[in-house]
Structure 1
Amino acid sequence: MKDFDLSLYLVLDPLLCADLGMVETTRAAVAGGATIVQLRDKHAPTKTMIETGRVLKQILHGTNARLIVNDNVEAAIAIGADGLHIGQEDMNAADARRLIGPDMILGLSVETEALASAIDAGIVDYAGIGPVFATPTKPDHKQPIGFDGLARIVRLCSVPTVAIGGLKAEHTADVLSAGADGLAVVSAICGQPNPQAAAALIAKAIKEARQ
């Protein structure tokens, strides 16, 4: 069984993180309680992704947080990342698994009940479900599903789930009561004046919601 905790999943956005940078944002967020950090930069060349990822890997060393790379198999392997996350349009999950091997965590974006039902738990380790709300960090996203849609999709998933899409600390209880294992956030931490405090606020909300 792979060891990872989806409860507070930070997706890095290079533009939102520009003031502090992705490295310092990560350091602060993990100190505040982030359990997974996803390196997502759709426009960076692979070489830059690898350089950034290796620094992030050093920061996460000795913590329980895991490093996931978005949609770049070559970078994920070169970094020695803990995992890879792919969207439905990126590549076939079985092909991704073949490339990264059996030990790396593989996450898959899921927007509909049909896609949730089709997940092969022998290939995919977790599903990212959303968008719960519309979000400016991903302008081409699918129709928002809301908490009811989230609950319906979670029920059909044979793997752990993390909700994504416009989520903030005040949504934590609704996300967890819909059955998701955690929430993925971008702007709730990236670009905040104090990313550590922002992460700690969500981590506290998770703890309270689970009591």
Structure 2
Amino acid sequence: MTAPHQLLAVHGLYAITDPHLTPDDRLLPAAEAALFGGARLLQYRDKTASQDQRRRRASQLRGLCHEYDALFIVNDDPVLAAEVGADGVHIGQSDGGIAAARALLGDQRIIGVTCHGDLALARSAADAGADYLAMGRFFASRTKPQAPPAAITSLEQACREFHLPVVAIGGVNADNAPQLIQAGAASVAVIEALFGHSDPADIEAAARRISALF
């Protein structure tokens, strides 16, 4: 199992980068603004950059996160997560599975799994050893408009049923996050409401608004 201090840290604002909103020249300033504003986890998500570029940026982001005592998570790539010493990886339903990620990362790293709004997927992920469950999308999302919608009742049930942190994702902002937190979400994952701002000062302010909800 993951170290208890890490599990407890899957809480609060979870910032996720996006290659369109945080292109290479803006990535580090945007990420630091979110961390300075209170993000407790940061996920590096970029499926378009070269492997060398992703390795370099992931290493830089890991160092930045640890300066702010935040967790650094790599999206969809357990190999990269292992190479750069990330705190964990977030995988989807078609990214090789929990067992393969655990074999690469060991027991002390976090593995989060996308479960959409499907409690059966969440149950399978929990049984397979996931450290957190990501549920959503709960609201309209410009970043992932095709993601299947999820009902807040599924979030409530997941939070009741599983003894794991549940991360709520999908169109989350400071105005709608309170209902997800009230439903039991340990963390809310945010992309557009943070990194849709071009000015780092606005990213920081948005992060502070959401972080203050916890």
Asked if these proteins are the same fold (TM beyond 0.5), I'd say yes
Question: The residue matched to 1:166 in structure 2 has which SS?
Answer: coil
Question: The residue matched to 2:172 in structure 1 has which SS?
Answer: coil
1:64 corresponds to 2:72: no
CA 1:170–1:80 in structure 2 vs 1: closer, same or farther (change >3 Å)?
same
Deviation at 1:191, TM superposition (A): 2.6
Question: The residue matched to 1:188 in structure 2 has which SS?
Answer: helix
Deviation at 1:121, TM superposition (A): 5.5
Counterpart of 2:206?
198
Deviation at 1:20, TM superposition (A): 6.4
CA 1:148–1:8 in structure 2 vs 1: closer, same or farther (change >3 Å)?
same
- Superposed CA deviations along residues 130-170 of structure 1, whole A, max 9, x for unmatched, are 1112312124412x113223223333333111100000001
Amino acid aligned to 1:201: R
Question: The residue matched to 1:118 in structure 2 has which SS?
Answer: helix
More helix by share: 2
CA 1:164–1:118 in structure 2 vs 1: closer, same or farther (change >3 Å)?
same
Question: The residue matched to 2:134 in structure 1 has which SS?
Answer: strand
Contact 2:172 2:193 in 1 (8 A): yes
1:62-141 equivalence runs, <5 A: 62-111=67-116, 112-120=118-126, 123-141=129-147
Partners of 1:185 and 1:72 lie apart in 2 by: 20
Deviates more, 1:45-54 or 1:145-154: 145-154
Deviation at 1:101, TM superposition (A): 1.2
Contact 2:10 2:165 in 1 (8 A): no
Gaps of 5+ in 1: 207-211
CA 1:122–1:91 in structure 2 vs 1: closer, same or farther (change >3 Å)?
closer
Contact 1:119 1:158 in 2 (8 A): no
Contact 2:115 2:121 in 1 (8 A): yes
Q: TM-score, normalised by structure 1?
A: 0.90
CA 1:38–1:154 in structure 2 vs 1: closer, same or farther (change >3 Å)?
same
- Superposed CA deviations along residues 6-35 of structure 1, whole A, max 9, x for unmatched, are 310001012112396111111111110000
1:51 corresponds to 2:38: no
Deviation at 1:61, TM superposition (A): 2.6
Say how many residue pairs are matched. 205
Question: The residue matched to 1:158 in structure 2 has which SS?
Answer: coil
- Superposed CA deviations along residues 52-105 of structure 1, whole A, max 9, x for unmatched, are 011112212332211000011221111111110001121111111112111111
Gaps of 5+ in 2: none
- Superposed CA deviations along residues 109-145 of structure 1, whole A, max 9, x for unmatched, are 1120111222336721111111112312124412x11
